[in-house]
Amino acid sequence: MLETISKNFFMSLSQSKALNKAARKWGLKFGASQVVAGETIETAIEAVKKLNEKGLVATLDHLGEFVNNRDEASEATDYCVRTLEAIAKSGVKSGLSVKMTQLGLDIDKQFCLDNMRKILDTAKKYDIFVRIDMEDYARCQVTLDILQELRQTYDNVGTVIQAYLFRAMDDVKDLKGVPLRLVKGAYKESPEVAYQDKKDIDENYMSIIKEHLLSGSYTAIASHDHHIIAKVKEFVKEHNIPNSQFEFQMLYGFRTEMQQSLAQEGYKVRIYIPFGDDWFGYFMRRLAERPQNVAFAFRGFFSK
């Protein structure tokens, strides 16, 4: 009960535009600096370098979402292009993750599509993979529609499927051959469209992981759940699925010992590294996901 109240509280905070705006002035407070790699491209690249030295790869995400101004969306697009150029110039092993609401999805679908093409043209030039983050359910179908259109021209783009949605398995089957990041899901969704019980979500999560792996598609398993990770390791061995067909993904700043351990075992491990001043919504969703994250945040705050 308390866990549900806590989750709902932090999810509500994550959607507050007033608090998000104020957070930009605060800087990285309340432990956020432990899970957000600074506010600039330079600090993000340095974080990737340190992870690369430990045998880990990365994907960078310039934080921001739900943009309703064309100028802001254009600026975000340009920032993504500059991030790709910085990745190429530095030689770090990293991809790029983007949110289409940051690129104008809520303004105009074609405008967002044009911005995505600018990003993907640059990424293709440098042979960098771009992942379209999945956002809330209301934007799920349009995200997949845009992905399908982009895949007609670009093979260096994929997306994310969230296991708590009832539609997840159908989407995974439709996206056979597309590199997918598979996650449990981090938004608060209606019981009409999403599983609410952890057991049901976990079962569906393993089902879509198995489906995508058995189809021969490249699969990114994004989870800190050691039970899930152990099941995946067992499953790929049973079915002789090579390590080159999948990777484990984790969030920057979380379960660093497990990240290192998996890499030492010979698995590819990619760390999702968010950066930028629009950090508040992302951070609140991380606090909502697990009660342990709240304690983690307060330790970070009081250790300063």
* pLDDT at residue 66, rounded to an integer: 75
> Of residues 241 and 277, which shows the higher confidence score?
241
pLDDT tens, 161-204? 999 999 999 999 999 999 999 999 988 899 999 999 999 999 99
Mean pLDDT of 11-35: 52
Instruction: Please name the residue that has the structure tokens 């469209």.
Output: 193
Alpha-carbon torsion (122, 71, 101, 89), positive or negative: positive
- Mean predicted confidence (pLDDT) in 212-227: 97
Q: Catalytic residue, from 106, 133, 202, 278: name it.
A: 133
pLDDT of 296 > 50? The answer is no
Residue bearing the bigger pLDDT, 255 or 10: 255
What's residue 21's pLDDT?
A: 53
Is 151 among the catalytic positions?
A: no
Whether 134 contacts 96, CB under 8 Å: no
Q: List domains and CATH numbers for the chain.
A: 37-278 (3.20.20.220)
253 or 92, which is more confident: 92
Cα dihedral 3/303/187/113 (nearest 10): 180
Q: How far apart are the first and last CA of the chain?
A: 32
- Contact present, 208 and 178 (Cβ < 8 Å): no
Distance, CA of 138 to CA of 124 (rounded, Å): 29
Question: Angle between the 280-289 and 17-26 helix axes, to the nearest 10 degrees?
Answer: 110
Distance set, CA 287 to CA 138, 149, 154, 163, 200 (Å): 22, 35, 35, 19, 22
pTM, full prediction: 0.85
Task: Compute the distance between CA of residue 144 and CA of residue 265 in angstroms, rounded to an integer.
Answer: 34
Known catalytic membership, residue 127: no
Q: Check whether 128 has a pLDDT greater than 80.
A: yes
Alpha-carbon distances, residue 229 vs 206, 215, 233, 302 (angstroms): 10, 19, 6, 32
DSSP state of 176: T
Of 131, 139, 181, 286, the active-site residue reads: 181
